[in-house]
Amino acid sequence: MIRKPLIAPAIALAFALVAVPATAQQQSDSYKFLTAVKDAKGNDVIAMLDKPGSSVVNARSLETGEGALHIVVKRADMTYLRYLLQKGADANLRDKDGVTPMLLAVRQGQAEMIPVLAAARGNPNVGDQSGVTPLILATQLRNIDMVRLLLAAKADPDQADRVAGQSARDYADNDPRNAAIAKLYAATPKRAKAAVAGPKF
C-alpha cells in the first residue's frame, strides 16, 4: 500500500513555528514595562525609561487601560510614584473607566499622594465616565482631610457629576453626616463660570 505524504501535519508544524515569534512580538515594550512596574523590578524599569526615545512611561494596559501610575497608586508605592512622575508620567492618564491616578488615590485612601500628583499637574477636576471627581468621591467618603488637600489643589466643589447632577457641595449639604465638610464648603466661595463667547461677525 502506497502511503500519502503527511502534508497536513507538516503544514501545522510550519504554522506552529511561525506562531512562536508572533507571540513573542505581542510582548511589546509597553507590556514588558507595565509588567516590570507591577512586579517592582526596579532595574528593568530604570533601564526601559532610560532608553533613548522611550515613551513607555505612559503605556496603558490593553485590558484595563491602566498605566504605571495606576499600578503604583494601588499598592501605595510613593517611591515609584515620585520616580515615574519625574520621568514624565502623565498624572491625568485615565483608565478604561476614566479613572485618573488622583481619583484612584482617593478611592484607595492614599491622601498623601494627592499633593504629589497635584504638583505634577494632576487635575483634581477630571472625573471618571460618570463625572465623579476626586472631590465628589472624597465628600461621599466623608474624608475631610482629603477634601482639604483637594481644595488646596484647586478642586471645584461646584462641578457636578453626570449621573445625579450633584456637586461635592450638594452631596455635603444633603448628607447630615457631612456637616463638617458642608461647613468647609460654606467657607469656599463659588467660582464664577466663564461666559461662553458667541460667534463673531
CA dihedral angle for residue 39, residue 40, residue 41, residue 44, rounded to 10 degrees: 100
The CA distances from residue 5 to 11, 12, 17, in Å, are 12, 14, 20
Divide the 201 residues of the chain into consecutive groups of 10 and give the mean pLDDT of each group.
50 44 59 97 97 94 97 98 98 98 98 98 98 98 98 98 96 96 92 46 34
CA atoms of 2 and 35, how far apart (whole Å): 54
What's the grid cell of residue 183?
Answer: 461647613
Range of the domain at 166: 124-189
Looking at the domain assignment, is residue 164 inside a domain? yes
Last residue of a domain, one of 123, 143, 158: 123
Helix (H, G, I), strand (E, B) or coil at 87: coil
* Predicted pLDDT of residue 20: 39
Longest Cα–Cα distance of the chain, Å, equals: 97
Contact 165, 158 (CB under 8 A): no
CATH at residue 173: 1.25.40.20
128 with 117, same domain?
no
pTM above threshold 0.95: no
* Predicted pLDDT of residue 191: 72
The CA distances from residue 70 to 45, 102, 135, 141, 148, in Å, are 15, 9, 18, 20, 22
CA atoms of 180 and 191, how far apart (whole Å): 21
Looking at the domain assignment, is residue 4 inside a domain? no
36 with 119, same domain?
yes
Q: How many domains does the chain have?
A: 2
The CA distances from residue 197 to 18, 53, 74, 194, 200, in Å, are 59, 41, 41, 9, 9
115 with 67, same domain?
yes
CA atoms of 169 and 146, how far apart (whole Å): 14
